[in-house]
Amino acid sequence: MIVKFSERLYADLHRDLNEITLEEDQTIKRLERAIYCSLKYMRKLKDFCKLNAPKTVDDEIQFFKSIKPKFKSQLIYYQSLLHIEIRKPIGESKVVRDYFLNELRVLHHFFESNLSFYQYIRTNASYLDQFYFVRGNYDVHLDPDQCIIDFDPDFSTTHDHKLAQVLASELLQDHLEQSILRYSQKDTVVQSDPELREFDWKQTKVALIELIYSWHATEAFGKKNLKSIVKFIERAFNVSLGNFYDTYDWLCGRQTPTAYLDEMKAAFLTRLQKKLR
């Protein structure tokens, strides 16, 4: 029961987070809303778990290893992003890039400090699951989370929070690496031609995703796969498009899936008519 419920709940969480990331508000406000959204769904998961506790050890391991960390990792990820964004320096591309590089070094230190657990997770091992992901166990030699004493014993194990941190750190590493690459390329472009400094994407992310799927459908870049095109466009326009697959699903359900393409066509025809007058 809890597996099916959590799958539906996680899909709803991703839908709401995706809608937030597509909003046109400033970054800090969007991140704050994403944090509150993640908290809301964590509470829903906890409330359901309290009423429908895992019946067997296998069910308990599945919940605390495969279900809860996915939800909590989103909360940790957006909290980390907010912390980074608030402290981000204002200045030249090199200054911002160096700031992100330092944050990446901090992240690598986390991985190194938890190397044995990280390797355990990455290799899909299971021989310690009964110690890591079953409630009530505490082995001082397995490096349990120091905060476990303050956690809800009915909704926590010694390592489910650490697993959520690992998942969040992987997301954060990808975000930082993309940001570093964008600022590096932006700095190179600006040095070669200062007039290109302000060529960032100013329209909505949804609009750009409409264009990308249209370019892919018409093979505007040849046989390049969709993910490669997205990466190229993100770097070229200094924008992060997040989970563009979810955005595409949202576009398909929208009353007007091609709103920006229609707007472009109308604007072009208006300009054409002015020239022909």
Tell whether 200 is covered by a domain.
no
Domain finish residue from 161, 195, 229:
195
Assigned domain for 232 exists: yes
Tell me the pTM.
0.73
- pLDDT score for 25: 66
- Residues 168 and 232 both lie in one domain: no
> Looking up tokens 């069910």, which residue turns up?
59
Q: Which residue has the tokens 């050890």?
A: 57
Are residue 137 and residue 248 in the same domain, yes or no? no
Question: Do 142 and 30 fall into the same domain?
Answer: yes
pLDDT in tens, 186-224: 665 555 555 655 667 778 888 889 999 999 999 899 888
Boundaries of domain holding 249? 205-276
pLDDT digits 0-9 by tens, 250-263: 788 778 888 889 99
Around 269, how many Cα atoms within 13 Å sit in the side-chain half-sphere? 6
Helices (H), the chain: 2-21, 27-51, 57-62, 68-87, 93-113, 115-122, 129-132, 160-192, 205-217, 226-237, 244-253, 259-276
Let me know whether 82 and 133 are in one domain. Answer: yes
Measured from the Cβ of residue 3, the count of other Cβ atoms closer than 10 Å reads 13
Q: 119 with 219, same domain?
A: no
227 and 182 in a common domain: no
pLDDT value at residue 271: 87
What would the pLDDT profile of 55-97 be if each residue is shown by its tens digit?
Answer: 899 999 999 999 999 999 999 999 999 999 999 998 777 888 8
Burial (Cβ within 10 Å: 0-12, 13-18, ≥19) of residue 110: middle
Q: What is the mean pLDDT of residues 122-149?
A: 83
Same domain membership, residue 129 and residue 210? no
CA dihedral 109, 115, 120, 122 (to 10 degrees): 40
DSSP-derived letter for residue 88 is P
User: How many structural domains compose the chain?
Assistant: 2
Query: Of 138, 170, 195, which residue is a domain's last?
Result: 195
